[in-house]
Structure 1
Amino acid sequence: MTGFAITDWDNAYENGRNIPNGSDWPGVWVSPAQNFRDNSRCRLDIPYGASERAKYDLFLPEGTPKGLFVFVHGGYWVALDKSYWSHLAKGAVDSGWAVAIPSYDLCPQVSIAQITKMIGSAIDHAAGEVAGPVVLSGHSAGGHLVTAMMCEGTPLTEITQKRLQHVVSISGLHDLRPMLATKRNAQLQLDMTSATTSSPALHRPLPDVRLTTWVGGAERQEFLRQTALLANIWYGLGCDAYAITEPDRHHFNVIDGLADRASPLTRAALRSPDEE
């Protein structure tokens, strides 16, 4: 039994008003992010494209990196930038990985399809700076963008595709067709064709890339559904896919584990295939 039909799609995808003290975010991320930038080995504002927002920050561990971890932020493709999330690099950096966090142009100035191509360019550029395997993670809209990287037709170069080991979508949106029923679509400017084309759940995954979809147990039902959806479909297409629900986490604090090398989220993201 799936429950009653959704009549208010805006509420179904609304996080802040449905989380206690939800208005505190994204402000609570600003200070820890700045503190991490101030106290880490990093290269900031590396350009990967022509636009002002086509830049990423690269955080480096001591010694030679084990590989490249990329985190792509959310904000419904219309808000925020890389500066809010720097502290989330800590878990991977402390585990010996280099971490890239890109900004990207936003809707409605560009389309979601254009943003997807930008993220591909950012990852390709960062992969040219750091050797070894590539692991991607993204939150909310960022979860959509990183899963798009492991679809057939990915914007990643073949060289980067061969290095891609694992994609972790945290509270990701993998079927964009419900966005057509939201007021937010005035900015996203999706129609049925573009929503279908840009939905990872409606594409085949690349072979030999592991997928983990991760969501907080206290999230909106639609985020729980979208998390299970992609892992279910892609598992049926032969993907090594896992869907994990982390208890007592909501949409904003579900990403906190990335700041801790010992957290279940960071350990799952960086676990090598031979540790399965």
Structure 2
Amino acid sequence: MVTQEPIDWDDAYSNFAYIPDGFGYPAKWLEQATSFREEMDRKGLLKLDVSYGEHDRNRLDLFMPSGDLRGLAVFIHGGYWMEDFDKSAWSHLARGAVSNGFAVAIPSYVLCPEVRVSDITVQVGLAIAHAANEVAGPIHLTGHSAGGHLVARMMTATSPLPQAVRQRIRKTVPISPLVDLRPLMKTEMNETLHLDAVEARLESPALLEPQEGIDVTAWVGALERPEFVRQNALLANVWSGFDCRVEAVEEPGRHHANIIEGLTDPDHPLTRNLLGL
């Protein structure tokens, strides 16, 4: 008989502690984001703080391409649905899509414990729908970590997105996604998230049916914590049994903090996959 050692779930979801200078990344992101925002503002290609709801955090930034418009890309940030990130830390991730002719929407959302994860799902649906009203054409969705969970959740049969918006979505790329939320109930984070068994199941994309005909690539860094690699593969494994296109990619040499850098490069495989290039 093989005896499995108990899993330390807090350690399993601890990313920055296993990345060289991991805790220095948020400051770098903010600096790069601020620089890109200023660049786009000088060009008159930026709409800041577009409201999509009543809360102060129900705002999105919209970055426009300088040439012909090819569609809309949306990036949803992570932070375990509770860390003090907002849209202002991720602006630079719009560069790759904007350079390829896509408008990019990056929303903030209200965090736990003020709301529950299921409430954030609804907010993200509202943000995407609002951006879709602002920008014509096909829609491409991506998000990182908890944001990866949220864009995968948009592709489930119980998505909050209006049917007209769903029909415009051409590609979804959850990056380092959390697709089974049940293990998180065993972490200290759950003192803030307040996940219970019912909500964890109803908000876990891997436990839900995908919409028919969708095209999803679950993307993770090969150097990420094993739990993130496992969850990435889990989504592709489960959804491959349905009528949709789904694959899993493990990008060599990338960890949880630098996996998103591909979105800043117009020619990076991550950007090209997202935009269907």
User: TM-score category by the smaller chain?
Assistant: over 0.9
In the TM superposition, what is the alpha-carbon distance from 1:236 to its structure 2 partner? 1.1
In the TM superposition, what is the alpha-carbon distance from 1:238 to its structure 2 partner? 2.4
Ranges in structure 2 where 5+ consecutive residues have no aligned partner: none
Corresponding position of 2:39: 39
Kept in 1: contact 2:212–2:242 (CA 8 A):
no
In the TM superposition, what is the alpha-carbon distance from 1:243 to its structure 2 partner? 0.2
Q: CA RMSD in A?
A: 1.3
- From 68, 73, 77, the equivalent of 2:77 is 73
CA distance 1:57–1:3, change in 2 (3 Å): farther
1:254 paired to 2:259: yes
Kept in 2: contact 1:6–1:12 (CA 8 A):
no
Amino acid at match of 2:169: L
1:166 paired to 2:156: no
Ranges in structure 1 where 5+ consecutive residues have no aligned partner: none
Amino acid at match of 2:64: L
Corresponding position of 1:64: 68
Partner SS, residue 242 of structure 2: coil
Q: CA offsets per residue over residues 124-148 of structure 1, 9 Å max, x none? A: 0000010111000000000000001
Distance 1:231 1:194 in 2: 22
Kept in 1: contact 2:12–2:225 (CA 8 A):
yes
Corresponding position of 2:24: 24
Partner SS, residue 141 of structure 2: strand
Kept in 2: contact 1:165–1:208 (CA 8 A):
no
Distance 2:156 2:269 in 1: 26
Corresponding position of 2:246: 241
Identity of aligned residues (%): 51
Corresponding position of 2:144: 139
Corresponding position of 1:83: 88
- What's the TM-score once normalised by structure 1's chain length? 0.96
Distance 2:231 2:276 in 1: 24
Query: Number of residues paired by the alignment?
Result: 271
- From 47, 52, 56, the equivalent of 1:52 is 56
Distance 2:25 2:188 in 1: 21
In the TM superposition, what is the alpha-carbon distance from 1:18 to its structure 2 partner? 1.1
1:197 paired to 2:202: yes
